[in-house]
Structure 1
Amino acid sequence: MSDDTLTISDRIQAQLDDLTRAERQLAHSILENYPASGLGPLSALAKDAQVSVPTVARMVQKLGFSGYPEFQLELREELKAKVKNPIAKHDTWAERAPSEHLLNRLTDAVIDNIRHTLGQIDPKDFDAACDLAADTSRHLYIVGGRVTHTLAEYLFLHMQVIRPKITHIQSTSNAWPHYLLDVKEGDIFIVFDMRRYENNTLKLAEMAHAKGAKLILFTDQWRSPVHHLADISFSSRIVIPSAWDSAVTPLLLLETMVSTVQNLTWGDTKDRMEALEDMFDQTKLFRKFT
């Protein structure tokens, strides 16, 4: 993967293990309020991170930039991409759309998104998230927003079969504070928040975090503000040649999580599935051809 396909966040995360203590401190400071954190003067960034000006200059070069101005230019481009609405996004790709069929171009973009996303995910983090989602001693809350509620509903529908003690919350509903009444320390929140991040989702996450809940976040390559509260965070690349962002990569992660949790709880899950199928038979919900 060439560097020009990576966000600055991607580059920082890929090099964290090779940074000095001061550079790592700077990296975490940049990511804390990314990408806005690097838009001010070099001296201001150094002061905020409590590192020296030469440390910032050295770090910028390690990330592949000739200097701080080039670094800032890239951040500004990322910020533009982060706040684009659907119309603006359509105009961006339509003007330079190549002649190949959209099916091929979109498929290529999705495959590239998947490869890049998987390259950035630590399997240990994914396994830890699945272990938490499979822990039936904890209540599991699944939270989606205006668009991401479709991903939340998909996960909820499957988890509802796999395990008990599960609740689906839509952060756009004015009823969501009621759900927080019963949240206990150690409960799990799986939160979906992608580009055009929602204030309700952030407030819900803040209140759940304050009650001692553990947060698993599914977000995009620029990362939701919920990121700084999350115990585990998964960033998916979502850009495709469309006015809309792609849900394919996060859906792949969800289907993998469903399969993993199902395997971890298979004894109880099998019993629940059999009971559910028996109810389906009694209701004659589905046609049978045998």
Structure 2
Amino acid sequence: MTQEIASELRRLLPTLPAAQRRVARVLLADYPAAGLQTVAKIAERSATSGPTVLRLLDQLGYQGHPEFHQALREELTTQRTSPLTQLNQSAEGPSAAEVLSSGVARSVAELSADELRAASKLLTNPRRSVYATGGRFTDLLADYLIRHLRELRPGVRHVAAGDRVPCLLDLHAGDVVVVFDVRRYQRDTQLFAAEAVNRGAKLIVVTDPWLSPVATDANVVLPASVQAPSAFDSMVPAMAVVETLIGYVLAEYSDKAADRLAEFDRLWSLQHGDIDP
């Protein structure tokens, strides 16, 4: 079993019996804290039974709660990994191309089509404004997403860290906030996301396999690998997730976006010269 327990839970969710699905949702809604509780407490919170909880753990590949408990603790250790702790790890192993391509392939393959469709419906609803923000590095991905969306629809905005308070003032219930947050998760990003949800926003979170704390309140969670050929986590798999999401958005919105794209091209040509076909 890999350390990515939450990803496996999400993958299994549509196939589980109703009672086990309730257990899985409890575990995901308060991840990983819920899984560190006793079997009896998990059963109580999910309105199921101890045997039902254990059957789900068996589906995940664990021989009982102690083994599952230990795996969660190991995840927590991995979750706190920083470039410093990885600095002296051996550089021997797969090539950079192999590491990055593997991370991209796995991240895209493990995405839930239901989650992608839910995200694209939120992002293409013209009655909802869309805001996207990220952390020290992942804010590049937030900006990249918005640069695509604004060619397709109005009412989208990239929110830099210093603009989050004005954004919250402008936010209306039902608006969509896309948050990028990977380990080591940023408290300011978490506080912004929590306040956005408190104001009625719909939350889409792009995170790592161990899940940012903001995933607990999210309507949609899109995890991506961070495996890299260096001591620093990679954003390449997360970029692939964003590209995949943009593909779903285009499939959802292509008919409505055609006129806007044509006008965008016309205005771009006026400003910058002809666009090559």
1:204 to 192, 212, 237: 192
- Conserved in 1, the CA contact under 8 Å of 2:29 and 2:217? no
CA distance in 1, matches of 2:263, 2:227: 40
The alpha carbon displacement at 1:130 in A equals: 2.5
Does the alignment pair 1:240 with 2:228?
yes
What is the DSSP-based 3-state SS (H/G/I as helix, E as strand, rest coil) of the residue aligned with 1:215? strand
The alpha carbon displacement at 1:77 in A equals: 1.2
CA distance in 1, matches of 2:134, 2:79: 19
CA distance in 1, matches of 2:217, 2:103: 25
Structural mapping, 1:3-42, within 5 Å: 4-5=1-2, 7-42=4-39
What is the DSSP-based 3-state SS (H/G/I as helix, E as strand, rest coil) of the residue aligned with 1:256? helix
Q: Which moved more, 1:257-266 or 1:179-188?
A: 257-266
Give structure 2 stretches of 5+ with no counterpart.
none
Structural mapping, 1:127-206, within 5 Å: 127-170=117-160, 172-173=161-162, 175-206=163-194
CA distance in 2, matches of 1:218, 1:256: 12
Instruction: Report the CA distance shift for 1:27/1:112 in structure 2 as closer, same or farther (over 3 A).
Output: same
Identity %: 31
Does the alignment pair 1:215 with 2:212?
no
Q: Which moved more, 1:129-138 or 1:65-74?
A: 129-138
What is the DSSP-based 3-state SS (H/G/I as helix, E as strand, rest coil) of the residue aligned with 1:181? helix
Question: Over residues 242-273 of structure 1, what are the superposed CA-to-partner deviations in whole Å (9 max), with x where a residue is unaligned?
Answer: 21111112212222334554562122122122
- TM, length-normalised to structure 2: 0.85
The alpha carbon displacement at 1:81 in A equals: 0.7
By relative contact order (CA 8 Å, sep 6+), the higher-ranking structure is 2
* Match in the other structure for 1:112: 102
Q: State the AA in 1 paired with 2:265.
A: M
Does the alignment pair 1:270 with 2:254?
no
What is the DSSP-based 3-state SS (H/G/I as helix, E as strand, rest coil) of the residue aligned with 1:185? coil
Does the alignment pair 1:89 with 2:86?
yes
The alpha carbon displacement at 1:47 in A equals: 4.1
* Match in the other structure for 1:279: 271
- TM, length-normalised to structure 1: 0.82
What is the DSSP-based 3-state SS (H/G/I as helix, E as strand, rest coil) of the residue aligned with 2:159? strand
| Alignment RMSD (CA, Å) | 2.7
- Conserved in 1, the CA contact under 8 Å of 2:84 and 2:231? yes
CA distance in 1, matches of 2:273, 2:15: 58
The alpha carbon displacement at 1:60 in A equals: 2.0
Give structure 1 stretches of 5+ with no counterpart.
none
- Conserved in 2, the CA contact under 8 Å of 1:194 and 1:224? yes
Work out the number of aligned pairs and report it.
Answer: 272
